[in-house]
Structure 1
Amino acid sequence: MDRFLSIEAFVRVAQTQSFAEAARQLRLSRAVVTTRVQQLEEVLGDALFHRTTRTVRLSEMGQAFYRDCLELVTRTNDLVDQMREVRGTPAGLLRVHALTGFMLGHAASLLREFQERYPDIVLDLFVSDAVIDPVKQGFDVALQIFKPVSDELVSRRLFPVRRVFCASSEYLLKHGSPRMPRDLFGHRLGLYSGYPTRDRWTFHRAGEDSVTLDLKPVLMSNSVHLLRDYVCEHAGIVCLPTLVAAEGLCSGRLRIVLPDYQLSAFWLSAVYARTLRGAFKLRLFIESLGASFSGGEPPWDKALIEQGLTPPQLLED
């Protein structure tokens, strides 16, 4: 019995609450993970989990054992990474869950630069707009606009995510341009379904009280890229993050609707477990992303600000 491998299997099952998912993340068979946990239970003389056909929960013994085991696994992996750093060759697998709107069209060059610098680090990158707990789902870090879902997670801000309502010139020529936020009720709207504010849309204008509306879209989607394609088909007015809309706005293919009003911005953040704050590969990855956006505005917003299409000040809730 390799005690460390058994402890690692125990920790992963505790995080995922599933032997099958733990096996998938560790790239082992379920039988191997089950055997390793059982061997650990035999050494301890007690069950670490309460198992049913549907659930896997930590026993009293398992709860007492888990936190120290998590710290042990994290610290051991970090020490191995540090030794690789001494040799100049950080290596191993880094699992990343990332927001679709950022990854498509903006992240490839950042990933290339990171891998050119650290060629032995393998990135397993899952792209989705789902809000996750990276610990429970076996990721080292999640790049998302939502706040951490538990107190065991921390976050580091990377860059602001501004939003604008926009439409094509053809649509506005045919249907007219809204002058006030309430004018949006007279238009076909496409809205992103994954914002933390859900159905609450608050419009801010200098020197005036803010206006909050419950808008009624004809199209809701968790894909900002689908909404961009929809607006480019002259189908309606949509709200897009500037990281997706900037190219169309700068080229003139799209126009900002209600340019005198601002929506609050969110932040794309790296969310990860408190216990992984010193993990070497993770630290390198987050520092690399942070350095890419440390010079002020992200490039897509800088282009919009330079053309006077969006105000330089950032509005946050």
Structure 2
Amino acid sequence: MDRLQNLETFVRVAETQSFAEAARQMRVAKSVVTSRIKQLEDYVGAPLFHRSTRVVRLSDVGQAFWRECAALVGRANAVMDQMRDAQTGPSGVLRVHALTGFVLGHFAALLRQFQASYPDIRLELIVSDAVVDPVKAGVDCALQIFPAASTELVSRPLFPVRRVFCATPRFLEENGTPRTPRDLHGFKLGLYSGYPSRDRWTFHHQGKEVTLYMNPALLTNSVHLLREYALEHAGIVCLPTLVAGEAILRGELQVVLAEHLLSAFSLNAVYAGTSRNAFKLRLFIEHITGAFGRVTPWDAQLIQRAILPEMLVTDA
């Protein structure tokens, strides 16, 4: 019996709550997972899971050992990775899930640079607007603006995501320009549906806060669709500056209520504390944080042109 391999299988089943999903992630047959768990159960003399047709959950014995096993497996994988990488350099597959709106347009160059530094690491980047649990999704980390969903996950901030309301000059010329946040109620709005604050919009101005609940004409989970909607002179939209920045600099979009700041979110790397690819993941996260400082390049250009104030509010 390969105890470490069986312990890793036990941890994967416990995290995914599924024998089939654990098998998929480990790239083995489900029967292999079942056999490994049975070997462990025979060894400890007690069931590790309660199974039904719908649910797989830890038994009392399994619950007692799970955290220690997860830490042991994570540490063992990290040590083995470091030993191998010390001889040959980091290698293998790193799987990342990322929100569409927060990687398109800026991450391709970042990935090229990362692969130039670590050519033997193969990246599998899944891009979608779904918010996922990285463990259950079978990825090493998820890049998202939501914090970690459980205490079993680690959330590492990467860079701030600043948001602005904007529209085309033509739309503002034809429909007027809002002077205060409450004026937005009189305009056709396009809003993103995926922010942690949901329908609550809090503006900060001269030490005061105004919180509004707005009824948009367009509500979508695609910030890129919102940008195209605005460029069609259809309304005022709220966009992250990393999506709207270039259009604003070209004069195609114009920021409104620039002095009424919305709270910024962080793009976070969310991952299991016992990630089996901890060393490669650390290299990837450090590469991102090293490329994007506290003031991101797209924000720096807008601040330099006096389109946005330098102040950043981050208490979302």
What TM-score, normalized to structure 1? Answer: 0.94
Pair 1:177-2:180 in alignment? no
- C-alpha distance in 1, partners of 2:235/2:280? 44
Distance 1:109 1:260 in 2: 32
Structure 1 position 248, deviation (Å): 0.6
Q: Out of 136-145 and 182-191, give the one that drifted further.
A: 136-145
2:107 aligned partner: 107
TM superposition shift of 1:241? 0.4
Does 2:144 correspond to 1:144?
Answer: yes
Residue 83 of structure 1, CA deviation? 1.0
Aligned residue for 1:226?
225
Distance 1:244 1:60 in 2: 48
Contact 1:178 1:258 in 2 (8 A): yes
Letter in 1 for 2:296: P
User: What SS class does the counterpart of residue 72 from structure 2 fall into?
Assistant: helix
What residue number does 2:48 align with? 48
Name structure 2 gaps, 5 residues minimum.
Answer: none
Equivalences, count: 315
- 2:25 corresponding residue in structure 1: 25
Is the Cα contact below 8 Å between 2:192 and 2:220 reproduced in 1? yes
Counterpart position of 2:212? 213
Which segment is superposed worse, 8-17 or 275-284?
A: 275-284
2:159 aligns with: 159
Q: Give the Cα separation in 2 of the matches to 1:59 and 1:137.
A: 23
Q: Which position in structure 2 is the counterpart of 1:193?
A: 193
Q: 1:302 aligns with which of 297, 300, 303?
A: 300
- Written as runs of structure 1 = structure 2, the 5 A alignment for 1:5-154 is 5-154=5-154
CA contact (8 A) 2:98 2:127 kept: yes
Percent identity over the alignment is: 62
Contact kept in structure 2, 1:98 and 1:127, CA below 8 Å: yes
Counterpart residue number, 1:271:
270
* In structure 2, distance between residues paired with 1:48 and 1:57: 9
> In 1, distance between residues paired with 2:69 and 2:126?
27
Alpha-carbon offset, residue 85 of structure 1: 2.4
CA distance in 2, matches of 1:196, 1:302: 25
The one-character-per-residue Cα deviations of 1:83-137 (angstroms, maximum 9, x if unpaired) are: 1221141112222122222211111111111111111112222223333332343
User: Whole-Å Cα distance in 2 between the matches of residues 11 and 210 of structure 1?
Assistant: 46
Offset of residue 53 of structure 1 = 0.7
State the secondary structure of the residue aligned to 1:94: strand
Query: 2-side partners of 1:277 and 1:258: how far apart?
Result: 46
CA offsets 1:158-180 (integer angstroms, 9 cap, x no match): 21111000111222122221122
The answer to whether the 8 Å contact 1:15/1:137 transfers is no
Match in the other structure for 1:312: 310
Task: Calculate the aligned-residue CA RMSD, in Å.
Answer: 1.8
String of CA shifts for 1:148-202, please: whole Å, max 9, x gaps: 2222223222211110001112221222211221221111111111111111111
| Aligned-partner SS, 1:114 | helix
Is 1:15–1:138's contact at 8 Å kept on the other side of the alignment? no
Contact 1:171–1:236 under 8 Å retained in 2: yes
Q: Provide the rounded CA distance (Å) in 2 between the counterparts of 1:126 and 1:278.
A: 17
Identify the residue that residue 256 of structure 1 maps to in structure 2. 255
- Shift of the alpha carbon at 1:276? 4.4
Residues 243-301 of structure 1: CA distance to partner in whole angstroms, max 9, x if unpaired? 0000110000001122231111111122223344992111111111111123x421111
Is the CA contact 1:46–1:61 (under 8 Å) kept in the aligned structure 2? Answer: yes
Give SS of 1:135's match.
helix
